[in-house]
Amino acid sequence: MSDSIQMRIIGALCIFFRDFLDREVMDAFEMPSKSAKPTDVLSKENLQTFYSALENPKYKAVFLFAATSGLRSSKLCQLTIDDIDEDKLLVPDKESSIKETWLTFYNDEAAEAFEAFKPERDPDDDRVFQTTKQPLNWKFRHVSEEVGVKVTIQKLRR
């Protein structure tokens, strides 16, 4: 059983005994400390290997936007042209009922990749990358298997 599950069980029992039985029995129990999990950060070489394997300008732009802005894959897929300020290289705050979002930036390289993708965009679709999470994740998984370096949008956010 993981440390976090043990902590939740002991915490629930503490509240139950304290609030419903008026007993401090649970003071005798120690909460296990949460074990630290090292963050798996991709090396510069691995990122470059993966990026060079991306042939489609759309996915190169998505890769660079994700890596430099830290946006989630769902947010990247929902971005519209009106959501980004191309002059200042920023994505302003947009209301979200789930997560608090703030202003975020992307770099010149991401802007150049987006410019390279623009001629291929469908003019009737306002979304910046004109894709959904499923094909995006599939493409990243496919290229990861091809080059032997596992890269996901979530890993690029680190």
pTM: 0.73
Tell whether 12 and 75 lie within a shared domain: no
Residues 92-120 have a mean pLDDT of 84
CB 3 within 8 A of CB 34: yes
The range of the structural domain enclosing residue 52 comes to: 44-156
Rounded alpha-carbon distances, angstroms, from residue 157 to 21, 68, 124: 46, 8, 30
Tell whether 97 and 128 lie within a shared domain: yes
d(CA 60, CA 47): 12
- Please report the pLDDT score of residue 118 as a whole number: 96
Domain count, the chain: 2
Tell whether 29 and 10 lie within a shared domain: yes
Indicate if the pLDDT at residue 115 is higher than 70.
Answer: yes
The CATH number of whichever domain residue 69 belongs to comes to: 1.10.443.10
Grade residue 109 by pLDDT with cuts at 50, 70 and 90: very high
- Please report the pLDDT score of residue 33 as a whole number: 66
Tell whether 60 and 33 lie within a shared domain: no
- Please report the pLDDT score of residue 2 as a whole number: 76
